[in-house]
Amino acid sequence: AHTVLYITGLQFVLKLTPHTPAASPSVPGQEDIQAAMPVEELDPSHYPATRAAKVAEHFINTRYGSPFAWFGSSGVKKAGLEDMGVLGTKYHIEFTLKEMTRNQDMGLCSAEVLFHRADERKPPQVQCTCSGAFQVNTSAEEEDLYQRLRNATSLLSGSDIPNSVGHIDPEMAPFWHLGGVASSFIMLRESNESTLLNMAHIDNFTQMETKDAQLMFQYDILLHDMVSQEILKWKLLLSWSPDGGVKVLEAEWDPKCQAIPTSSILY
């Protein structure tokens, strides 16, 4: 379940399939990555290091995020770059992690983020370890929200989150967090060495009818690429329950997107 985290020495690896078919067939299984070149030290405050930490952040959210647990990098402490030849470029980073709904420090994490060559059009490959122990217990909050939504006489909806002055109503905050966690699935898949993606805005969301244990939602979200300054609109169909966690079932990019006022972007 995604509701209670008691994590010590957390380790995980992810490999995803991009929404655009790859130019060449993917190789099944995990690549055996060997060091190709010495690691070049990077300035932790510069884009390359921040970009790699952002990818690791998205990865953590896809595994442990919920309406009451949304994780973000709060600073890169150390960064290096390794040329992996035909495999691509691997970034070695150490960064501090924060649970953003409570503004709670989660400790230090280290990650290796492999960006494949641009012509392969494959999502980054992530290995991440968080040393030490940290706890986020959201069981009571998630169960309360889940039961309220299951037992409500009408389906919930919301729009314009945050509004034009950056405000989010407290009752909409869990659905802002849920949109952020779901967006991490897309941003992880779409990230490369030329992007730095954040969720900027929820145009609207609607709870869908379902008889399953998982609650269903349709989201229209806007992502912001801080490198190109592009605003990217995505339509997501997602599900959530305390036991099943967050799952993105469908994702569709809308190429006809209008920019939003920067005053409503919350990062």
For 35-71, how does the pLDDT look when each residue is reduced to its tens digit (9 = 90+)? 456 889 999 999 999 999 999 999 999 999 999 999 9
State residue 15 phi and psi, 5-degree precision: -140, 120
**Mean pLDDT over all residues of the chain?**
85
* Residue count (the chain): 267
- CA 175 to CA 72: how far, in whole Å? 17
206, 216 Cβ separation under 8 angstroms: no
- Position 255 scores a pLDDT of 82
92, 35 Cβ separation under 8 angstroms: no
Compare 266 and 74 and report the one with higher pLDDT. 74
Residue 39: count of CB within 10 angstroms of its CB: 14
- CA 107 to CA 95: how far, in whole Å? 9
- CA 203 to CA 9: how far, in whole Å? 38
- Position 261 scores a pLDDT of 47
Whether 8 has a pLDDT exceeding 50, the answer reads: no
- Position 215 scores a pLDDT of 98
Compare 173 and 32 and report the one with higher pLDDT. 173
187 closest CA partner among 73, 56, 92? 56
Q: Where are the beta strands (DSSP E) in the chain?
A: 4-14, 40-42, 71-83, 89-99, 104-115, 125-137, 157-161, 197-208, 215-225, 231-241, 245-254
Instruction: Give me the percent of the chain exceeding a pLDDT of 70.
Output: 80
Whether 114 has a pLDDT exceeding 90, the answer reads: yes
